[in-house]
């Protein structure tokens, strides 16, 4: 047992043949690439304010650094090899991304547009793997009352939101972004129902606004074909029925 402690060959090389060292390099390269691909499909908000490359670097280095520190059967040299390959792969990926716009779009990603002129970009929302309520939660934290206050909203590759508000004099009626349970059933109007009062209403799905006159009949949204409407909010103040 005394010969086991501080056995430099075991610490640095382990008991496996040297050819296994080459296998470690191959395993690391394969797992690095596969992890990067999987991370790119998890959605931007899951990155928690890290880019895919930054998150991958942390994941790749975590076990490589920690395992040789605690487990006597994991040779230090194997951990060093993994660290070296991960760092080299990271540097190579960055270099190739700077030379290829298509690769950069895949590895780093591009901002996804979520709102344009007060209307939800459904395709952008789907591409970013976000729900409407996740979007609304973020906007409520920025003291946004309704979508008519917004010109553009983007989610960046690191999961952060970029929000461009309209000036006070340019605010238009927009979809209220209060939690669903705060909207009374009487404030939601279905297709073929009669319009109770002349006002702007927004599609409950995409937030497209439309002016209806008293006595008109609600129709399906011409943009997304959704079949429910809500009374739009104005000037940063919620309608009483939406409290």
Half-sphere exposure of 242 (CA within 13 A, CB side): 19
Assign 234 to helix, strand or coil: strand
As a whole number, mean pLDDT of residues 20-27 equals 78
Whats the size of the chain, residue-wise?
243
Question: Which of 168, 155, 50 has its CA nearest to residue 111?
Answer: 155
Q: Please give the average per-residue pLDDT across 109-119, as a whole number.
A: 93
* Residue 236, Cβ density class (10 Å: 0-12 exposed, 13-18 middle, ≥19 buried): middle
pLDDT digits (tens, 9 = 90+) for 133-159: 999 999 999 999 999 999 999 998 878
pLDDT confidence of residue 205 = 95
Tell me how far the alpha carbon of residue 39 is from its chain's centroid: 11
pLDDT of residue 216: 94
At 240, is the pLDDT very low, low, confident or very high (cuts 50, 70, 90)?
A: very low
Position 237 scores a pLDDT of: 45
Please compute Rg for the chain using Cα positions.
27
Q: Single out the residue of 93, 130, 94, 97 nearest to residue 115, CA to CA.
A: 130
> What local confidence, expressed as pLDDT, does residue 32 receive?
78
Mean pLDDT of 48-57: 72
Q: Which of 223, 215, 222, 227 is nearest to 190 (CA)?
A: 227
**Overall average pLDDT of the 117-146 stretch:** 93
- What is residue 98's predicted lDDT score, i.e. its pLDDT? 87
Domains along the chain with CATH numbers: 8-107 (no CATH), 112-242 (3.30.240.20)
- Residues 6 or more apart whose CB falls under 8 angstroms from that of 191 comprise 218, 219, 220, 227, 228
Long-range pairs for 168-171: beta carbons < 8 A, 24 or more residues apart: 171/234, 171/235, 171/236
Task: Summarize the confidence of residues 104-118 as an average pLDDT.
Answer: 89
Query: Exposed/middle/buried for 85, CB within 10 Å: 0-12, 13-18, 19+?
Result: buried
Contact 228, 189 (CB under 8 A): yes
d(Cα 30, Cα 153) in Å, to the nearest integer?
37
CA distances to 72, 73, 76, 89 from 7, in Å: 10, 12, 12, 31
Out of 6-20, 151-165, 183-197, the most confident range is 151-165
pLDDT digits (tens, 9 = 90+) for 56-102: 777 777 777 767 665 657 777 777 788 888 888 888 888 898 899 88
- When the pLDDT of each residue in the chain is averaged and rounded to a whole number, the result is 82
> Between these two residues, 184 and 31, which has the higher pLDDT value?
31
CA distance 75 to 14: 5
Per DSSP, the three-state class of 174 is strand
User: Does 201 have pLDDT greater than 90?
Assistant: yes
Count of alpha carbons within 13 Å of 147, Cβ hemisphere only? Answer: 32
């Amino acid at each position: 047992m005394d010969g086991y402690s501080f056995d430099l060959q075991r610490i640095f090389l382990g008991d496996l043949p040297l050819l296994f060292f080459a296998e470690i390099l191959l395993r690391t390269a394969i797992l690095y690439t596969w992890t990067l691909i999987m991370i790119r499909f998890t959605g931007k908000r899951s990155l928690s304010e890290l880019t895919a490359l930054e998150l991958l670097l942390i994941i790749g280095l975590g076990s490589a650094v920690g395992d040789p520190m605690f487990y006597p059967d994991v040779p230090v040299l194997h951990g060093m090899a993994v660290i070296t390959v991960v760092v080299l792969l990271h540097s190579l990926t960055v270099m190739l991304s700077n030379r290829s716009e298509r690769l950069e779009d895949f590895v780093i990603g591009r901002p996804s547009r979520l709102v344009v002129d007060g209307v939800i970009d459904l395709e952008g929302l789907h591409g970013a793997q976000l729900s409407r309520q996740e979007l609304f939660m973020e906007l409520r934290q920025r003291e946004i009352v309704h979508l008519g206050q917004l010109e553009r909203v983007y989610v960046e590759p690191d999961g952060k939101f970029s929000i461009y508000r309209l000036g006070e004099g340019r605010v238009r009626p927009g979809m209220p972004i209060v939690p669903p349970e705060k909207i009374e059933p009487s404030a939601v109007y279905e297709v073929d129902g009669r319009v109770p009062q002349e006002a702007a209403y927004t599609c409950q799905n995409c937030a497209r606004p439309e002016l209806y006159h008293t006595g008109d009949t609600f129709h399906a949204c011409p943009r997304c074909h959704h079949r429910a409407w809500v009374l739009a909010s104005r000037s940063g103040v919620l309608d009483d029925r939406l409290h």
